[in-house]
Structure 1
Amino acid sequence: MQTKGKFIVIEGLEGAGKSTAVSIISDAIQAAGHQLVNTREPGGTAMAEAIRECVKNDWPDEKVTIQAELLLMYAARAQLVQNVILPNLEKGCWVLGDRHDMSSRAYQGGGREIDSVMIDSLRKITLSGFEPDFTLYLDVEPKEGLKRAKGRGELDRIEQEDLSFFERTRDRYLALAAQDKNCVVINTMQDIQSVHLDIQAAIQQYLEK
């Protein structure tokens, strides 16, 4: 799908440093003279933000099924893509997303172990082949990432999963990144300055293409 703007996505586990990466990449894109719109998933529209609350909250009297979680993720994504991402790309704006479809394939496909056939069917229905132009995957060891996330405050329903869930999620992320020619992996287990320099180098290289 050809658009006038570019869609850049930042992916990674909890504690990988996505918020910092968003700031670095936003500055670089705008310094290059592009109009920029920032989004997050799930969320980014009024309805998608309401879905985000459904997904992340604990429901004391009922179990959130993995099927419901998956469907809600794609419902929120459909709203965001059609109402925010595509219209802005068509106008020539660049869009920077904090998470996108790779998250569902990693968390629900890897972590929850949902069959890829089900996920691919939802991707076809909601995205019709639409993909990011460039993805930056911030890789962190799950144990360290969760330690960092806990340092920020209370964890949400998904963040409270056990370590093995995040290990499966990371494994799937790495497999997906290896298959994606438009994805760059950043090692966030380095010192913070090296991480920042690697992020800056990756976005500058993309901007210069």
Structure 2
Amino acid sequence: MPVRVVESSAPSQVAGQDASNQHALSPACSLLSVGRAFSGTQNVSSLQKDEAWRVNVRIQGCDLDHGYLCGTMEALNVPLADTPVVTFWEGEIVDMKNYTFYTGKWEATPENDIKHWSKFPAFSSLLSQVEADGGKSLDLSNYPYIFMRWKEQYFVNVGTDCGLTIAGFYYVCFSCSDGSINGFYYDPNSSPFQKLELKFTNEDRSGFTFSSYQLQ
């Protein structure tokens, strides 16, 4: 949710891209499941000033077989908003069966994809294969990281005049070992490489909770 006031109505398409490839993610990654919560920051600094927002994320749905997940994202200290801003997002899991490392939409070129994925150290060992054939020959079933794209669909509790844009999307890297999440926001009209850093939150132990929102 970067600082550019733009309304977006572009829907996310959840559809298979390479159904013939049977590589799939291991279902053993229990930290990526419905109800899991994460907390951290998004750096929205610009040339004019340094700024970071506190961010909470909760997974509302997850279907590994179809490479799909969805959830809510809450930004707490947005300067132009009187209340925390909550958005609903849908995600694509890069599993080489449903989705590959190449986005193919949302104004992202293959060059943009490689540039953003390469920001994650966990991607370095995959780079040469992705450049060679798009990564179609990779088997990510036992890889300790899960790569995703998150696309915010709409604002849950505020209007589009809240001072934020949801025109872009996030490149995301999820660690199966500790549930940590790193991401970079891509929108050609926003500050580049806005970094998202989240940690898994054990609600039972920490008492961390979200406000309740009804999703339409």
TM-score (norm. length: structure 1): 0.25
Q: Which protein has the bigger helix share?
A: 1
Q: Quick check: which one's strand share is greater?
A: 2
Comparing both chains, which one has the higher relative contact order based on Cα–Cα distances under 8 Å and sequence gaps of 6 or more? 1
